Structure 1
Amino acid sequence: MNKYEILVLLIVLIILIKSFTQFIEKIRGFKDEQLKFTMRIKKENINRLTGLQFEGFCQWLFHNNPEYKDIKLTPPSNDGGVDLILTNYDDEKIYVECKRYDSNPTLASNDEDNASDEFFIGRVICQKLVGAMMANNIKKGIILTTGSVSPNALEYIGKLEDNSDLSLKIYTMDNILKLIEERENQDDYELAVEI
């Protein structure tokens, strides 16, 4: 092999190593790239989020809230029916379930008597969160939804609070928009969430 062939071989080897390194870095960063998003906070944008993005958005929504010292996002799978765990300054934990509007009209509760073209939080979703709360001795729960609340869910929550020491609140899109307005930087409507 002469010097020219060795030089060409070295250049090819360097190019291959560089390409391979970039490929490995891209694979390692693929998961992070899939879970990062930036958006302008508007009702329409919130409705377009995927389920995982909506959970990240809800985490951001509670971030810097003076009531909570810790906001933990649970893993995307095997979360036990809980998407966020808030901890207040009395070290009390609050379980949060995040349910975004699905563009395919569905009844989240499976309550056939409430079927319509709108997404509803029903009794079944409430019972699922309450079950997770009871299993872990948690007294407070929140459901955040971009949909509406069925009468069955409201009746269930009323009975639950009348007959136990458990508390369950539901925040609809109107409540979510109010929480956004209450944030310290009301003009800062850019959102970048990394999960």
Structure 2
Amino acid sequence: MGRRGRRRKINRNNDMTTVMGVLVIIYFVGKKVVEWLDAHSSQIILGAIIVLSIVFVYLVYKLIFSLVNVERGNRVNQKEIAISDPTRLNNNIIDSPPISLDNRERDQEIFEKWQSGQKEREREAAKQRALFESGINEIDKMSGIEFEKRMAILFSNLGYKASITPNNDFGGDIILESKDNKKTVIQCKRWNNKVDVKAVQETSTAVQFYDADEGIILTNNYLTPRARELANKVNVKVWEREKLIELLTIEEDQSLERTNYNYNKDSL
């Protein structure tokens, strides 16, 4: 055998030795890995479950996000088509509900409705203030219903519980209840002429109907002599123009006292 043949034989032996060494190393390393995996199998399974769960949640999130973007893109495209060229709308778009107002238009619509309601509330509040602040000159220009409302406010401010009766009042317009539970029927007469006997008769009937303790005729005018005579006979009190002005003055004085008290209290 020549020199070249011997060299090849030596190289083959070296290669075999190297391969065997690698195989031995792989065997021992593999054995150690299998032993480690067997000892930590539960931790490995738990870690794998956690990783798979995270991957699953991420994939679901990406899917939902993609669907939302597709739906949003379809709506935008439909709106652009409807604005630019309505003839390009297909049947599905035509059958779909009309495009709603944008946020600015909706806000403007809501504000206008609120503003309209606010104006109505302000008008009603101004009307109530006018009733409260109306004196004898304003009362002379009122209707009968307005006079009843004003007198109910007057007696409420004077400390009574005042309620207006229905239209079929049987001769009584306002029912008063005092703090000592005394009930009084008020017949309100905002007349340009003097009050006659009929008003006295109606008030006397109302006292019995409402089971009241007393009846009062309250007017911005005066009673006729015969009406005043009958009122004295049937125990119906008569509060004419001067008495009404006195009640309005008392109401105004008490209102000023409450205003001054609240001012002084706030300034302490």
Tell me if TM exceeds 0.5: yes
Gaps of 5+ in 1: 103-118, 161-166, 189-195
CA distance in 2, matches of 1:36, 1:30: 10
Judged with a 3 Å threshold, the aligned counterparts in structure 2 of structure 1 residues 150 and 21 are, in CA distance, closer, same or farther, namely: same
Shift of 1:181: 2.8
Tell me, yes or no, if the aligned pair for 1:71 and 1:84 is still in contact at 8 Å. no
Between the two proteins, the alignment pairs up a number of residues equal to: 162
Higher helix fraction (1 or 2): 2
Deviation readout 1:129-185 (Å, 9 max, x if unpaired) = 21121123223011110111011211211322xxxxxx3111111111122233472
Identical-pair percentage: 23
Aligned to 2:196: 122
Match of 1:90 in 2: 180
Structure 2 SS opposite 1:144: strand
CA RMSD of aligned residues (A): 3.7
Q: Compared with structure 1, are the counterparts of its residues 156 and 20 closer, same or farther at alpha carbon in structure 2 (3 Å cutoff)?
A: same
Residue number in structure 2 paired with 1:182:
250
Asked whether 1:36 is paired with 2:114, we answer no
Q: Provide TM-score, normalisation by structure 1.
A: 0.64
Distance 1:35-1:186 versus aligned 2 partners, 3 A rule: closer
**Shift in alpha-carbon separation, 1:125–1:177, aligned structure 2, 3 A:** same
- Between stretches 148-157 and 14-23, larger displacement belongs to 14-23
Alignment partner, residue 162 of structure 2: 72
Do the aligned partners of 2:175 and 2:184 also contact (CA within 8 Å) in 1?
A: yes
Which shifted more, 76-85 or 147-156?
76-85
**Which residue identity is paired with 1:36?**
Q
Task: Give the CA deviation at 1:74.
Answer: 1.4
Q: Tell me what 2:155 maps to.
A: 62
TM-score normalized by the length of structure 2: 0.49
* Match among 138, 143, 146 for residue 50 of structure 1: 143
Q: Which has the higher contact order (CA 8 A, sep 6+)?
A: 1
Which has the larger share of strand?
1
Larger radius of gyration: 2
Tell me, which stretches of 5 or more residues in structure 2 are unaligned? Answer: 1-78, 84-97, 257-268
